[in-house]
Every structure is written in structure tokens, then in C-alpha cells.
């Protein structure tokens, strides 16, 4: 059975993000483990992925490392007790870590959100994957859009973090309990709309155009080859 290209392209995202997040919620809510225990066990996969990448010489696995750092920060923040406003403010710690990591990754030339962006744009199609690689190598506009995508997500998450901290110390506690979740949802939706409209959609069009152009060029070469062969055969 031939592997699904889209499934293959999404596999790293599932391993590095999906499994750790899902395992945390299953262990925390399904099995009733403490926050510390759930965070600890859900860190196993990203920790192994990070170590394995270093051992085989492939370098640091960015997404796995970010999830691992987020879990470690969560473990440290889980020790905070007492002041309810401090408890509310600490929830912004995860957003700040992820946001900073995304912004730093852009300036390091390895945007973190590309792991999820590429499968969305190419849909796992081989021709579109090849078109993506050609555009990354030859189009400055395409590379700027790729970097801007992660930069938008990182900036939005940092703004959401700041809003939650301000709200924790200015808004009544009973209001901030539900407002914090609202801020997170709004931030995610905002990032999806802004990054999608200004980066993902134009990139998808560029990839589609490039793939179609390459396909047409190959078809033209094939036709030319057949014509030449027929001419040779006729002449002989």
C-alpha cells in the first residue's frame, strides 16, 4: 500500500505537537493525574525526538524542543500557589515561550510554523512539494511570506500573553477566569486570519502556479520528443 503523501508530510507535526498535547489532556483529565505528572509524561516523546535528532546528527528538532521547553516551563509555573492573580498570570507563560520561540526561529532562518504551513499549502502533492522547494530556492517573495507567517503567529501570541498578564492584575478574578480563555481563542483566530490571508493564501497560489508551469513545461518537452522521434522515423 502506497503511503499517503499528505499523511507523511503531517507526521512530524503529529509527533512533535499532536501527541504531546493529546497525551497531556488524556493523562490530566482522563486518568486524573496531577498537572506535574501529566506534563512530565507528555514530555517523553518530544524529549526523545530532540535527543534522537542530536544523536543521528540531524540537528535540533525545533518543534519537539519548543514543546519540551513549554512543558518544563509549565512544570516550573505549576509550583506557583497562593495569590489567585499570580495563578492567572502564570497561564500566559506558555504563550510567551511559544511566541518568543517562533520569533527567534524566524531570525535564525528556520521558521517554526513552516512545519504546519507546508503541508497546508502543498496538500502532500509531489508536484507541489517540488514547486515549494523551487520557490524556496529561487523566490525572495516566497521566502519572505514563509518567514512572515511565523512572525505573525509569534507576535500575536506575545500580545495575547501581555493582555492576559495585564488582565490578571486589573480585571476581577472571577471575570478573568473565563476571559483568559476567550483571549486565547481570539488570538488564535486572529493569527489564522491574518497569517492565512497575507501569507498562506498567496503562497498557495504561487505554489499552484509554479507546479502548473513546471507540468506544462514537461508536457511540452514530451511532445517535442515524440515529434522529433516521429520525424526521425519518417526520414529514415
What pLDDT does residue 208 have? 94
Helix, strand, coil % in the chain, rounded to nearest 5: 85, 0, 15
pLDDT reported for residue 227:
47
Radius of gyration of the chain (CA): 23
Query: What are the cell numbers at 108?
Result: 535564525
Give me the count of residues in the chain.
Answer: 236
Task: Identify whether residues 52 and 9 lie together within a single domain.
Answer: yes
Report the greatest alpha carbon distance in the chain: 94
CB 196 within 8 A of CB 117: no
Which residues constitute the domain of residue 193? 82-231
pLDDT in tens, 110-166: 898 898 889 889 988 989 999 999 999 999 999 999 999 999 999 998 999 899 889
75 and 106 share a domain? no
Q: Is the domain of 141 the same as that of 221? A: yes
Calculate the CA dihedral of residues 48, 52, 58, 64 and round it to 10 degrees.
Answer: 0
- One domain for residues 64 and 104: no
62: how many CB neighbours lie within 10 A of its CB? 20
**Cα–Cα distance for residue pair 175/196, rounded to 1 Å:** 31
Classify residue 83 by its DSSP letter: -
One pLDDT digit (tens) per residue for the chain, 236 residues = 555 555 655 566 666 666 777 777 788 778 887 766 776 777 777 777 667 766 666 555 566 677 777 777 766 766 666 677 776 777 677 778 888 888 998 998 889 889 888 988 998 898 999 999 999 999 999 999 999 999 999 999 899 989 988 998 899 988 887 888 788 889 989 999 999 999 999 999 999 999 998 876 555 554 444 444 445 555 55
How far, in Å, CA of 234 to CA of 236, rounded?
Answer: 5
**Structurally, how many domains does the chain consist of?**
2
Amino acid at each position: 500500500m502506497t503511503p499517503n503523501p499528505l499523511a507523511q508530510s503531517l507526521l512530524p507535526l503529529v509527533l512533535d505537537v499532536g501527541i504531546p498535547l493529546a497525551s497531556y489532556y488524556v493523562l490530566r483529565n482522563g486518568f486524573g493525574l496531577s498537572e506535574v505528572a501529566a506534563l512530565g509524561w507528555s514530555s517523553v516523546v518530544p524529549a526523545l525526538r530532540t535527543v534522537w535528532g542530536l544523536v543521528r546528527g540531524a540537528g535540533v528538532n525545533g518543534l519537539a524542543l519548543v514543546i519540551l521547553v513549554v512543558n518544563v516551563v509549565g512544570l516550573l509555573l505549576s509550583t506557583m500557589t497562593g495569590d489567585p492573580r499570580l495563578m492567572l498570570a502564570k497561564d500566559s507563560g506558555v504563550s510567551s515561550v511559544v511566541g518568543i520561540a517562533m520569533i527567534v526561529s524566524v531570525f535564525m532562518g528556520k521558521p517554526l510554523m513552516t512545519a504546519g504551513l507546508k503541508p497546508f499549502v502543498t496538500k502532500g502533492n509531489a508536484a507541489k512539494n517540488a514547486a515549494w522547494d523551487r520557490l524556496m530556492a529561487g523566490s525572495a517573495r516566497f521566502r519572505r511570506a514563509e518567514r512572515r507567517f511565523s512572525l505573525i503567529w509569534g507576535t500575536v501570541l506575545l500580545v495575547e500573553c501581555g493582555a492576559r498578564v495585564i488582565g490578571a492584575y486589573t480585571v476581577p478574578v472571577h471575570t478573568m477566569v473565563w476571559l483568559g480563555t476567550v483571549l486565547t481563542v481570539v488570538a488564535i483566530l486572529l493569527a489564522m486570519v491574518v497569517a492565512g490571508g497575507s501569507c498562506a493564501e498567496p503562497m498557495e497560489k504561487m505554489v499552484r502556479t509554479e507546479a502548473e508551469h513546471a507540468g506544462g513545461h514537461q508536457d511540452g518537452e514530451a511532445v517535442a520528443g515524440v515529434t522529433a522521434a516521429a520525424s526521425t522515423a519518417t526520414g529514415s
